[in-house]
Amino acid sequence: MATALTSQLRCELCGSRKSSEWKCYECSQIMCKRCKKLHVKANISKYHNFVSLKQSREESKDRCPNHPSETCTKECTTCGQFVCDVCIQQKHRGHQVLFVQQEITEMREMCRRNLSDVKEIGLSIALKEMETFRQLGDDYKAKTQELLKEVTSRYSAWVAMAKDIQNDLLQQIQSVYKLDMGYYETEGKLRQNLILEMEDVIQNFQEGNIGGHEGHQRPPQTEGNQQENGGDDDASTCSGETPPYA
């Protein structure tokens, strides 16, 4: 691209477009190689400085606008301008001047210190935040553990209470059951005995034993008994009473 740009420039002395690659700082003219050689042979311009157009483009930002052959290597802090050595001698004599490279070095050092301070401050802040978050995490963990213990304790208390209620109810049910079963067993025995007695009475009645019990049956009559009881039978007959065993 640099060759294409230089090929479009004309030599300001002869008008040729061939090899117009040089510029005279003092004259601010673009020249070809031939005119450059002739230019430096003249007495009036034999000390002029030349630079290639490519180099000129690269260094144009550092060149002094008032003295193109000079480079702005210093800064006039009094005027706030970048100046070359010629500017200092002509218009900035006695002013406060700093070397640009020195200032750049100082700025770099200052930036380095500031960056170090920023890193230190940032690290300190980060450590504090980490400590804060760690403390928050520990507090949250402790509260969670405390809550779990409380829930477990209450659950155990509720389970124990439910167990006590269950045992109490079971004891009450068993007590009532025993009482009821005792009552039913007693009543059952009474009714069973009553049924047995009724069965005995019915059986005795069917057999002709009105008394209802074999132990109360009249003993069989013998001659001795008939003699002993003869008077009684006669008395009973005479009295008009019906004998119990007719």
Using DSSP, how many helices (H) and how many strands (E) does the chain show?
6, 6
Instruction: Read off the tokens for 194.
Output: 């009553």
Radius of gyration of the chain measured on its C-alpha atoms: 71
CA dist 48 and 71 (Å) reads 15
| 7: pLDDT strictly greater than 70 | no
| 171: pLDDT strictly greater than 50 | yes
CA dist 94 and 74 (Å) reads 14
Which is nearest to 32 in space by CA: 58, 56, 50, 57? Answer: 50
Element (H, E) at 74: strand 74-76
Percentage, residues of the chain above pLDDT 70: 76
Averaged pLDDT of the chain: 76
Q: Would you call 89 helix, strand, or coil by DSSP?
A: helix
CA dist 85 and 71 (Å) reads 8
Instruction: Read off the tokens for 91.
Output: 């218009």
Q: Which of 36-50, 99-113, 127-141 has the lowest mean pLDDT?
A: 99-113
CA dist 8 and 1 (Å) reads 11
Which is nearest to 82 in space by CA: 101, 69, 59, 100? Answer: 100
193-229 pLDDT, tens digit each: 888 888 888 888 888 765 544 444 444 454 544 444 4
The per-residue pLDDT for 161 is 92
| 238: pLDDT strictly greater than 60 | no
- The pLDDT confidence band at residue 192, using thresholds 50, 70 and 90, is confident
Which is nearest to 35 in space by CA: 47, 22, 26, 44? Answer: 22
CA dist 237 and 244 (Å) reads 12
Kind of pairing, strands 22-24 and 50-52?
Answer: antiparallel
The per-residue pLDDT for 210 is 54
